[in-house]
Amino acid sequence: MLEIMENVDIRDYTTFKVGGKFRYFTKLSDTLELLALYEFAKEKKLPVHILGGGSNMVFPDGTFECVVVKIEFCGFELIAETDEYADLKIGAGENWDYVVECAVEVNLSGIEAMSAIPGTCGATPVQNVGAYGQEIKDSLVSVDVYDTKDNKFKTLSKVYCEFSYRNSIFKGEAKGRYVIIAVTLRLSKGLPKIPNYPGVKTYFIEKSINSPTLFQIREAIIEIRKKKLPDPKEIPSAGSFFKNPIVDRHIAHELKMKYPELTTFPTGDDLVKIPAGFLIETAGLKGRDFGAVSVYPNNALVLVNNGNATRADVEKVRDQIIRTIFEKFDITLETEPEFV
């Protein structure tokens, strides 16, 4: 039976610990409850907001006038299997890192570089989550959804999702239309690819590992991330706060000439990805304490809540960093977390 709570503290359900109250809040573990949920929202004349792990959102300081739903649809199902791959359907509410752990345990590759990313499985297609050269779109087959417009359960293909860098149809034209119920991934039984990133290469060189196993790659990613990212249970944050900007190769070349230590990543079509963390650190902002909010000393991409930060505090620091980077590099940074 659908149980709905009122005036729930937002900070209890987000990793950044910023925000006031959810007007209404509920948890769903049964897809059949979706119909009752939307009837309730219609009755209250309020929109529905879907919440996964609460790791990539910044909520208002006052009352968030929505019916907020924490998705807890769980389970794994083997859909298809060949000698080369296995297709797994995974409940949207499953913890993402647990999904990666399970895949690695049965020697299935394709998502190991995304180890230790906070949040739920259902949130990964929304932002086309990625790390160390892997993105969810590379493994995704389809997404099972509830279509609130047509009032039907559907399966959406990867092509329909319109994936791009940290973006998808779920953040664009179809924002708010679909409730993600499950995600189907195609994972490989072949040898894993070693992420082509300096930090990962250095890790294996230092440990004298020439041909790392799937487990060793996951272990490396977790260790590297622990050094670079704060544990949200101890230090509130929203993870990586800024997207890596994608610029014209001529701009990247000019930056490389000025900063030879800069590592760039070609993305095709004469475009190049620039590490936002490098820009922020070069601008002298890494570790900067702005009062209620700081730039994390171990990773310039991360903003941390020093205790009682408000959304206004976060917005002020965000805007200052964006302005500083634009003035120094003529590049405009974009945020990863959604400000709702």
Any catalytic annotation for residue 240?
A: yes
How far apart are alpha carbons 230 and 271 in whole angstroms? Answer: 31
Neighbours of 322 (CB within 10 A): 16
Any catalytic annotation for residue 234?
A: no
CA contacts within 13 A on the Cβ side of 252 = 19
Catalytic residue among 240, 288, 294, 311: 240
Q: 106: closest CA among 181, 189, 36?
A: 189
Catalytic residue among 166, 186, 311, 318: 166
Catalytic residue among 101, 315, 336, 338: 336
How far apart are alpha carbons 338 and 132 in whole angstroms? Answer: 22
DSSP SS3 for 179: strand
Please name the residue ranges forming H helices in 166-261. Answer: 198-206, 214-228, 249-258
Any catalytic annotation for residue 336?
A: yes
Token match 């559907």: residue?
A: 154
Residues assigned a catalytic role: 166, 240, 336
